[in-house]
Amino acid sequence: MNYFFTEEQQMIIDTAKEFAAKHIKPVREKYDEEGHFPTEEVKKMGEAGLCGLYIPEEYGGMGKGIMGLCLAVEEMSKVCSAIALSMAATALGTFPILLFSSDAQKKKYLPDIASGKDLAAFGLTEANAGSDALGMQTTAVKDGDYYVLNGTKQWITNGGEARVYSVIAVTDRARGSRGLTAFIIEKDTKGFTFGKKENKMGIRASATRELVFQDCRIHKDQIIAKEGMGAIVAVNTLYNSRPGVAAQALGIAAGAFEEALAYSRQRKQFGQPISSFQAVQHMLADMATEIEAARALLYATAKTIDAAGDAKAFAKESAMSKLYCSDVAMKVTVNAVQILGGYGYMKEYPVEKMMRDAKITQIYEGTNQIQRNEIALGLIKEIASKK
């Protein structure tokens, strides 16, 4: 399908595709097996100009918006979504700064993130506050010009590898959602340590760790926006970042489909390629159609975000793109393994890894059950506003 990309957008796609073939594909199997974080590859992403695609030019980025980010993440995720995630998860940790920070904070942190020198991470989830993120227990108690943080954030992507962390903590529990505050916290701050690296089913080349705060003193200048705006920062961050997860899922699906289609033309049974069997043809047809529908939804959402500015204008669509693309990724990768048969179940073939990687896209940054809640709420609000 022709999406009539601009010359710059096509250049992003070509750069990401070339980068994935040259720097990601040769190491993806080894990194997946060993759970090795792609430090060198991230550095090369920065040199290729991929890390700052969504960051404005005035802060050292390329100014290509959510659409630019999605195009690059999709293309790299066709080869390895775990390595591409180092950049996508950095975007998640960067959005609070990009959307709500002061100009001084942006000038301090964004140029090094745009260049690939620094990674970022987003500290929201806790052991007993996953889908119910506002039920968090991490506290930030004011002490003069400082806040003292205590608590643990769980399953934080890029944890331990990133230098810049956007963290949400409770500053006034009595005020409910208005009692949360967002902070920028740098690695190596006294009282800020990391838990063990998690041993995951998929996206094994990415790093997932706990963020542990024990009497960690953070100056008030490190607050994002204002005290009490943490919930607004978190929600708007997720509205902007979920298309990145959708792009990751779409890339996984498209990569698995390409592998399955090529294999179906090579694999012969009963004296003919299995692509000549109608049962396989129908599977391929459904996979291709669902991928294209997911891509159309994602691109429309990304363009809406870049044009809208107000998160209320795209909260529902952001959830829809994450929901649909991740469900398509899971379905397509399962069918890709099925088409490859016994070979598809073996680690020598990439579809096995792609199926494992796909699952997390239905879970993080809000499970798909939470996405359905948000979509339904958006629909109800829309109809109510017309009365």
Q: SS3 of 328, please?
A: helix
Q: SS3 of 224, please?
A: strand
Contacts of residue 229, defined as CB under 8 A and 6 or more positions apart, other chains included, come to 100, 180, 181, 182
Residue 139 is encoded by which pair of tokens? Answer: 């506290």
Which is the catalytic residue, given 210, 227, 365, 374? 365
Q: What is d(CA 55, CA 69) in angstroms, rounded to the nearest whole number?
A: 9
CB 127 within 8 A of CB 196: no
Q: SS3 of 52, please?
A: coil
Phi, psi of 172 (to 5 degrees): -155, 95
Catalytic residue flag (residue 365): yes
* Residue 339 to residues 89, 253, 279, 381, Cα–Cα distance (Å): 31, 14, 10, 43
Pairing of strands 272-273, 268-269: antiparallel
Residue with the two structure tokens 């506050």: 129
* Residue 261 to residues 75, 133, 147, 254, Cα–Cα distance (Å): 18, 41, 56, 10
Q: Can you state the angle between helices 81-100 and 65-77, rounded to 10 degrees?
A: 170
Contacts of residue 57, defined as CB under 8 A and 6 or more positions apart, other chains included, come to 63
CB 170 within 8 A of CB 139: yes
Nearest to residue 200, comparing CAs of 77, 291, 334, 85? 85
Q: What is d(CA 259, CA 229) in angstroms, rounded to the nearest whole number?
A: 46
Annotated catalytic sites, by residue? 365
